[in-house]
Structure 1
Amino acid sequence: MFGVVYGGFIVQGLALGTLFALYARDRWGRLWQGRVWDLPRAVLGTRPQQAASVAAAVLAVLPAGAHLLWACGSTRGLNADRIADRTSDFYVVEAQSAGYLVLAVAAALTLAFRRGRALPVKVPLAAAWVAGAAAACWAGWQATASLVVAESAAERPTALMNLTYAGGMIVGVLVAGLVVRFLVAHPAAANRRTV
C-alpha cells in the first residue's frame, strides 16, 4: 500500500512539474533568452531590485547560519523534542534548507547586480525561482506548524527556531518577488499580456 500511494504522488509530482515546465517555456520562454549582461537596465539592475536583493542577503544570514549549524550537529537553539528526534533525515533537510537560502540569495544578487556577464539568464532566474520558492514554502510550513499549541515546553519551538523560520520565509518571498518583477518588467512581456 505504501508503495502505491507514494508511487502515485511521485508520478503526479513529475507530471505536474513537466507540464508546468512546458507551460512556462511556451508562456515566458522568450523572456529568459540571452545573457545576464545583455538585458536592459529596466529589467535588471534597478535600485529597488538591488536593495531587495541586498536585504534578502542580509536577512538570510541568520536562517542560513542556523540551518547550517543544525546540519553540522549543533543543538544550539533547538527545543528538547527536536534534539531527541534528530536522525539522518534531519541533517539532510537542514543542509538543504541552508543551501536553498544561499542559492536563492546568490541568484538574486546575480540578477539584480547583473553579474556573470556571459551567464545565460535562465540559470540565475531558474535558481532564484526554485530556491526562493523552496525556502519560502518550507520555512512557511515550519512557521505554521510551530503555531500549534504544544503540550509541553520541550515541544514548543525556541525563539531561534521561530526567527529562523520567519527569516527563511521573508528571504524566499523577497527573491520570488524579484523573479516576478523580472517577468513583468521585461520588454517582451508587454507583447503578450493575456492569460
Structure 2
Amino acid sequence: MWTVPNCITLFRVILIPVFVVVYFLDWRWAHEAGAFIFWLAAITDWFDGYLARKLQQSTPFGAFLDPVADKLIVGAALLMITHSYANLWITLPSIALLVREIYVSALREWMGSNGVRDAVKVSFIGKAKTTAQMLALIGLLSGLETFMGITIYWVSLGYILLYFSAVLSIWSMFVYTKAAWPHLRSGATK
C-alpha cells in the first residue's frame, strides 16, 4: 500500500485543505499561491501515474484513490472559482463540469459492478478535457492578467479553456454513455 505513487497521491489529498486555506488567506498573493498549490497537485497527478507504470507499482488502493483525489481537488477548485468570480459565466461551465464528473463516476461504478467497466475506460477526449480544465483552473485561480509588468491574459485564457473543457466534458459524457448504452439497456451481468 505504501508505494511511492500511492504516497504521492496521498500527498495530493493532503494538499486539498492547504490549497483552500492558502487561497482564502487575507494576503496579497494568496490567489497566486493557491493556484501554485493547485498546479503542484496537477503535476503530481501525472507523476504518480507515470511512476506507477514505470516502477510497476500499480495497486488496487492507488487505482481507487487516484481518481478520488483528482475529483476532490478539481471539485474544490470549481467551487472556489464560482465563489470568487460570482458570475453566471463561471458558474455555468463549473456546474457542467461537476455534473459530468458525478455522472461519469456513477456510470463507471455501475459498469464496473456489472463486469463491463472497460467499455467506459478513459478516452482521449477525457484526457484533453482534463488538461484544458486544469489549465483553466490554474489561470482562473491565479487571477493574473499581468506578471512582472508583462501582459499574460491568464484569466482570459482561463475563461476560454473553462468553456472548452466544459464542451469536451459534455461531449465525453455522451461518448461514454453511447459506449455504455447497450449494457445499460440490456442490464449487463457479469
For the aligned pair, the TM-score class normalised by the smaller chain equals 0.3 to 0.5
TM-score of the pair, normalised by structure 1:
0.33
Question: Which entry has the higher C-alpha Rg, 1 or 2?
Answer: 1
Relative contact order higher in (CA < 8 Å, ≥ 6 apart): 1
TM-score of the pair, normalised by structure 2:
0.34
